[in-house]
Structure 1
Amino acid sequence: MRDDVVEASAVVGHPPDVVWQIVGSPEWYSRFVPEISWCEIQEPAGRGRGPKGSIRIVPARGPMFETQMQAVVYRPGEHVVWCGVPDEGTWVSIELRPLAGGKTELFVRMMLPPAHLDLVSSIKKDVRALARRLDLHLAGEHDPETDGETNKATKLRTTSILLRAGVLSAGRPDKLARQLNSLAQWGATVAGGYQAAAARVPDEPALHDERSFRTFRQVQERSDRLANALSELGVVERDRIALMCRNHAAMIESFVAASKLGADVILLNTGLSAASVKDVLAEHRPSAVLADDEFAQTIANVPGDFARISTWPDADAGYPTVDELIQAAPADRPKPVERPGRLIVLTSGTTGTPKGARRPTPKGMGTAAAILDRIPLRAGDRLLVAAPLFHTWGLAAMQIGMALRASLALIRKFDAEETLRTIAEQKCDALFAVPIMLQRIMDLPERVRARYDLSSLRIVASSGSAMSGPFVTSFMDTFGDVLYNFYGSTEVSWASIADPADLRAAPTTAGRCPLGTRLAILDEDRKPVPPGGEGQIFVGNDMLFEGYTSGTDPARAADMMASGDVGYLDAAGRLFITGRADEMIVSGGENVFPRPVEEALVALPGVHDAAVVGVADAEWGQRLAAYVVPRRGASLHAEDIRQYIHQRLARFAVPRDVYFVPDLPRNATGKILKRLLHDDTWPATSEY
């Protein structure tokens, strides 16, 4: 052996042709080698040549790097040699040598530049671990050492995170006493959070919208009066009130007032149809509905003996306004209630009528610590909340904001340039948004984005739907490494958070577990899948929801709940989402998810957006249909798209139907409403 060539070997208990299923599929390398975070094949193997592609490597020490690679030796079932492109003398050889008893010697030789000798040492050391993961995967057995990826919470870790963020900090003894007393009386509720902030920093800015500015003291005083006014209208503990509002100060004041009364709050999506609003209110039977005037007619048409209150007056709706109720109500401070009010969030309803999900009351400051563990917000930060407050992510921004005593700038109706202007003028530290909002910002001409000084912006926290890999990279190349991707659901709250380092390494990852969270990938029998395997994502944390108001419940396994998605963990512990469990189709006997096809489509130059759905097929059972939104001026043809997908994914993942459309149907939070794509009335400009 030459001094600059490293050799290592291990035994895999399966024959070479079986081991080749992984060794010959570089897209799977990241599931088995921790240092490999991403690999994509641009040119598949052909007659007399091996595949070409890109690989991204994250050494245990040293910076991440990406390189082009080509298989200069490619003998299926036997041997592959990967070289860099251009060839600078570096290579990795993986040879499969048959052994007695149907086993294989995995013989690895490599020569890398001196700058990456630490990587060589690491890979040499881990070849036996690699062989073990391959053995378990090919045998269909899980690894008991990694059952449930867990980021355990301890009092010390929780306290350390809260101290680092400034949630816990020194201050005047009298203010600290009032702060702690508020939390002791009201708990970690919306009422308790804003009471505690008012006790600690009463004159600091709390809420700012296009019409008003509120300090924490003002929020406390106004919510006291509003709670008293609602009480006079007959709202009592355990009653329900509904909010149909865009983001503004009166909506949060209504949250706090309801919390002080111990009333449950139903958050109505502003994009709901009149029929859906009627159905939701009929099921939940609120004592009062507080709504912006633009939704007054929708509320007026709902039968029922409940109070109707205007939260954002801009028309003569004929209902009393929040300000009028506050002005007329006494200033007496409400007494703490026995049962804290709950929040009822509606599911997004992308595949049907939305369901009400009862959100639990946080059990303490550990909830805030879980998010702050992965997103480095700090006390007193200025948060721009563009994500709707009726959405789980907007709600999370409000809840983490009150723990941080943060100032919330609230955007009623999203406008990309206005958002940048607000960040620049108010020197916002963080933006909470859903992916379609970030897409609209990126769609602005570069000269428009350049007008605004965004140097204060440390964090762009996104959640609600998937972001494509090319978009993630482009966004961070434009605005810096400020992007955080929060993966969760109405039901499980949070599962994982990807920070900028994760997203640079693997742009499509959903990240890693935050503090106090357990994550497991389970098969149909609720057993852990083998290393690198796909299955349903189950999550355990302190904020799993308490059930749908209809009485149904998602699947559970021990102390964990199904998120509704299918995915896998790579060898470094990062989570990846394959697709929705209810979106899987069976085409010609093969299980197919739309999401990998969508990710490949949006990486194609000329494609602005894409969605893929399953449709019935007489021959294959089901087939994929792609709806593609071309970029302006792009010339796209269906056969080119099919050929492009065929080069990157399996034959059964190629969409047989390709529709070119001007846009895709979305709900108020930007999620694509795929059920409408099955409707023949959805506008398609051409089909091939």
Structure 2
Amino acid sequence: MAGPPLLQNLTGTARTAYELGTGTARAAVALTRSGVVRPLGPAKLYGMGRALVRYGNSITAAFAVGAARHPYRLAVVDDDGVTTYAELEARTDSLALALLDSGAGPHAPVGVLCRNSRAPIEAMIAAGKAGADVVLINTGLSAEQMRGVQEQQGLHTVVTDPDFLDIVPAGPRVVLTATPDGPRPAGDRVLDDLGAMVERGGPGELPFKPEPSKQIVLTSGTTGTPKGAKRPHPSTLAPAASILSAIPLRAAEPVHIAAPLFHTWGNAGLLLASLHGATVVLRRRFTPEGFLDAVRERRATTVFAVPVMLQRVLESGAQGWGEGTDGPRIVAVSGSALPGGQALEFMDRFGDCLYNLYGSTEVSWVSIAGPQDLRDAPGTAGRAPAGTTLLILGEDDEPAGPGVEGRVFVGNDLPFEGYTGGEAGLEERDGLLGTGDVGHLDEQGRLFLTGRADDMIVSGGENVHPGPVEDLVSGMDGVREVCVLGVDDDDYGQRLAAWVVLEPGADVSADAVRERVKSDLARFAVPRDVHFLDELPRNQTGKVLRSELPGRD
């Protein structure tokens, strides 16, 4: 990763020591400011230190530290009730023993296929105690995609809600989050029950220092079988410090995680919340009403969500958090593009609490836009937070100046170890990873994205990006959302097409869309095909499922 001249002259062990040192210092400052670091008695310090020695910097360690530090504080509030940090620690000790007894553990991965509840959290913590890798599985996968995941990851066990049993292929042991009351055969598989496993535990004791496990997050799979991105547990708390430098969480404040826990962003929210000793508030299914209720009832001061959730809240007509509710200090979103108009409308109704993180499954974070950035420069993806290097590289692989478009490259404290299936990795330049996106920086260092590099088309010899067309059409009166992509064209090679969803009662014609683009952009950017839909097909994190767009072929 690029850095100051001193760092550029260091190599090997010296460079690693420097990076760890500066990362640790940043983490100490950030965690002191947020209230995580403060004086404690020797007994609590011993328990916390023991947890960190056993499990490193992981979800497992964060909740174990919480059990030592504040055992009777609520750890999770979900649709089934509440559980404390101490209860969670005891349950996951027992569950880890049961996993080991069933054969799960080192080199025998555990898949987690669940909606937001305490069950996936218990599964992740227990897998860490057993030394098993955890594969977080998107609940929106098809049976065919799930078969592909099983082939790639070689799952020993899948912990799943009963709703998704039909897509789990034969082979792995299946642990349901509710029902069977212990192991029982079901055709060519064995079904078990999470609660029953907790009750029975297993023989022996847990290893004091289990084999370090990895967390494998799947890519969105919008164009095929999702790839598994290997994510090691960080060696320091520097990654948390980077996020906290731009998103000011505070210790012990309730956090509502509306983003799916299987997604990088929801999982990051869980790690940050547990690190801060927060009460994590969850709902199995998202609705605008349930979202607002979760914030009001538990007085959540921080929310992790995806942009499409905010859009649904705006469409519900809610004008604020509700009577007698100050509302969260932080509503942090990631996972898909946040339109500038949507950001402004949300802040106008709900206050200047909005933060937008741009990143990906592979590179984690790139930039963060705070409320002031979103006010001053709607549509920005924000600035690189502390400890993060962000560069725009031109075709000559040299850094581009302000306003000059190029490929986005980033370096941060959470390295990407590659795909589990051995697929080709990301583009890399001088230690920085390419995100696959195209954009530019302004004079203030704020990033603006044009779109995916592989979305660019060549129409009649002209390079055309769909991003500016999407931004323009989404700003039209009566347009709720839009997707613009390239399609084949017999005369020009390729051309743009638009899929548009209108507000209820709106009257916008295809000609009006074309005229709007023609008035602001080049002629070759005008979409010849304009399809009107009731809604865009999206996955749980709000990404458009392009293969399901009608007329794409």
Partner of 2:15: none
Secondary structure of 1:320's partner?
A: strand
Distance in 2 of aligned mates of 1:292 and 1:187? 29
2:274 maps to a residue whose letter is M
Cα distance, 1:213 vs. partner? 1.1
Partner of 1:270: 139
CA spacing shift, 1:638–1:422, aligned 2, 3 Å: same
Moved more, 333-342 or 574-583: 333-342
Distance in 1 of aligned mates of 2:373 and 2:321? 27
Cα distance, 1:675 vs. partner? 2.6
Partner of 1:309: 175
Task: Describe how 1:76-225 pairs up with structure 2 within 5 A.
Answer: 153=22, 155-225=24-94
Determine if contact 1:424/1:452 at 8 Å carries over to the other structure.
no
CA spacing shift, 1:651–1:452, aligned 2, 3 Å: farther
CA spacing shift, 1:420–1:453, aligned 2, 3 Å: farther
Cα distance, 1:618 vs. partner? 2.0
CA spacing shift, 1:276–1:204, aligned 2, 3 Å: same
Secondary structure of 1:633's partner?
A: coil
Task: Describe how 1:64-75 pairs up with structure 2 within 5 A.
Answer: none
Cα distance, 1:510 vs. partner? 0.7
Task: Describe how 1:407-426 pairs up with structure 2 within 5 A.
Answer: 407-426=279-298
Determine if contact 1:421/1:452 at 8 Å carries over to the other structure.
no
Q: Does 1:475 align with 2:346?
A: yes
Distance in 1 of aligned mates of 2:356 and 2:178? 32
Distance in 2 of aligned mates of 1:203 and 1:384? 19
The CA deviation string for residues 235-265 of structure 1, in whole angstroms up to 9 with x for no partner, is: 1223211111111101101000001111111
Q: Does 1:369 align with 2:256?
A: no
Determine if contact 2:247/2:355 at 8 Å carries over to the other structure.
yes
Secondary structure of 2:501's partner?
A: strand
Cα distance, 1:338 vs. partner? 5.2
1:539 to 410, 413, 430: 410
Distance in 1 of aligned mates of 2:416 and 2:251? 27
Please tell me whether Structure 1 or Structure 2 has the larger radius of gyration of its CA atoms: 1
Determine if contact 2:130/2:210 at 8 Å carries over to the other structure.
no
Partner of 1:581: 453
Distance in 2 of aligned mates of 1:313 and 1:438? 34
Distance in 1 of aligned mates of 2:181 and 2:504? 39
1:673 to 526, 545, 550: 545
Determine if contact 1:292/1:313 at 8 Å carries over to the other structure.
no
Partner of 1:455: 326
Q: Does 1:523 align with 2:428?
A: no
Partner of 1:5: none
Cα distance, 1:330 vs. partner? 5.0
Partner of 2:103: 234
Distance in 2 of aligned mates of 1:589 and 1:453? 59
Partner of 1:607: 479
Cα distance, 1:339 vs. partner? 3.3
Q: Does 1:443 align with 2:306?
A: no
2:251 to 367, 379, 394: 379
Cα distance, 1:450 vs. partner? 6.4
Q: Does 1:496 align with 2:363?
A: no
Cα distance, 1:680 vs. partner? 5.8
Distance in 1 of aligned mates of 2:203 and 2:411? 42
Determine if contact 1:293/1:315 at 8 Å carries over to the other structure.
no
The CA deviation string for residues 515-559 of structure 1, in whole angstroms up to 9 with x for no partner, is: 211111113443322432111111111213211111121111121
Cα distance, 1:428 vs. partner? 0.6
Secondary structure of 1:475's partner?
A: helix
Cα distance, 1:335 vs. partner? 2.2
Cα distance, 1:658 vs. partner? 1.2
The CA deviation string for residues 347-384 of structure 1, in whole angstroms up to 9 with x for no partner, is: 01223321111112111211211111100101111110
Determine if contact 1:544/1:561 at 8 Å carries over to the other structure.
no
Q: Does 1:254 align with 2:123?
A: yes
Secondary structure of 1:194's partner?
A: helix
Cα distance, 1:446 vs. partner? 3.7
Partner of 1:244: 113
Determine if contact 1:420/1:454 at 8 Å carries over to the other structure.
no
The CA deviation string for residues 406-444 of structure 1, in whole angstroms up to 9 with x for no partner, is: 110112110111110111111111111101111010011
Partner of 1:664: 536
Secondary structure of 1:361's partner?
A: coil
Partner of 1:62: none
1:616 to 451, 473, 488: 488
Secondary structure of 1:563's partner?
A: strand
Distance in 2 of aligned mates of 1:154 and 1:180? 19
1:574 maps to a residue whose letter is R
Partner of 2:380: 509
Cα distance, 1:650 vs. partner? 2.4
1:413 maps to a residue whose letter is R
1:208 maps to a residue whose letter is V
Distance in 1 of aligned mates of 2:150 and 2:197? 23
CA spacing shift, 1:677–1:315, aligned 2, 3 Å: farther
CA spacing shift, 1:426–1:331, aligned 2, 3 Å: farther
Cα distance, 1:314 vs. partner? 9.6
Determine if contact 1:374/1:499 at 8 Å carries over to the other structure.
yes
Cα distance, 1:453 vs. partner? 4.2
Which ranges of structure 1 fall in alignment gaps of 5 or more residues? 1-143, 682-688
Distance in 2 of aligned mates of 1:360 and 1:403? 17
Determine if contact 2:181/2:193 at 8 Å carries over to the other structure.
no
1:285 maps to a residue whose letter is G
Partner of 2:516: 644
Moved more, 611-620 or 313-322: 313-322
Distance in 1 of aligned mates of 2:294 and 2:531? 38
Distance in 1 of aligned mates of 2:359 and 2:30? 21
Q: Does 1:297 align with 2:166?
A: yes
2:158 maps to a residue whose letter is V
Distance in 1 of aligned mates of 2:471 and 2:552? 24
CA spacing shift, 1:157–1:229, aligned 2, 3 Å: closer
Determine if contact 1:243/1:290 at 8 Å carries over to the other structure.
yes
Partner of 1:286: 155
Question: Greater strand share, 1 or 2?
Answer: 1
Q: Does 1:562 align with 2:434?
A: yes
Determine if contact 1:240/1:263 at 8 Å carries over to the other structure.
yes
The CA deviation string for residues 113-143 of structure 1, in whole angstroms up to 9 with x for no partner, is: xxxxxxxxxxxxxxxxxxxxxxxxxxxxxxx
Distance in 2 of aligned mates of 1:389 and 1:268? 9
Partner of 1:116: none
1:180 maps to a residue whose letter is G
1:308 maps to a residue whose letter is V
CA spacing shift, 1:279–1:406, aligned 2, 3 Å: same
Determine if contact 1:401/1:408 at 8 Å carries over to the other structure.
yes
Determine if contact 1:246/1:270 at 8 Å carries over to the other structure.
yes
Secondary structure of 2:292's partner?
A: helix
CA spacing shift, 1:156–1:284, aligned 2, 3 Å: closer
CA spacing shift, 1:312–1:670, aligned 2, 3 Å: farther
Partner of 1:625: 497
Distance in 1 of aligned mates of 2:293 and 2:494? 47
The CA deviation string for residues 37-67 of structure 1, in whole angstroms up to 9 with x for no partner, is: xxxxxxxxxxxxxxxxxxxxxxxxxxxxxxx
Determine if contact 1:224/1:331 at 8 Å carries over to the other structure.
no
Determine if contact 1:461/1:485 at 8 Å carries over to the other structure.
yes
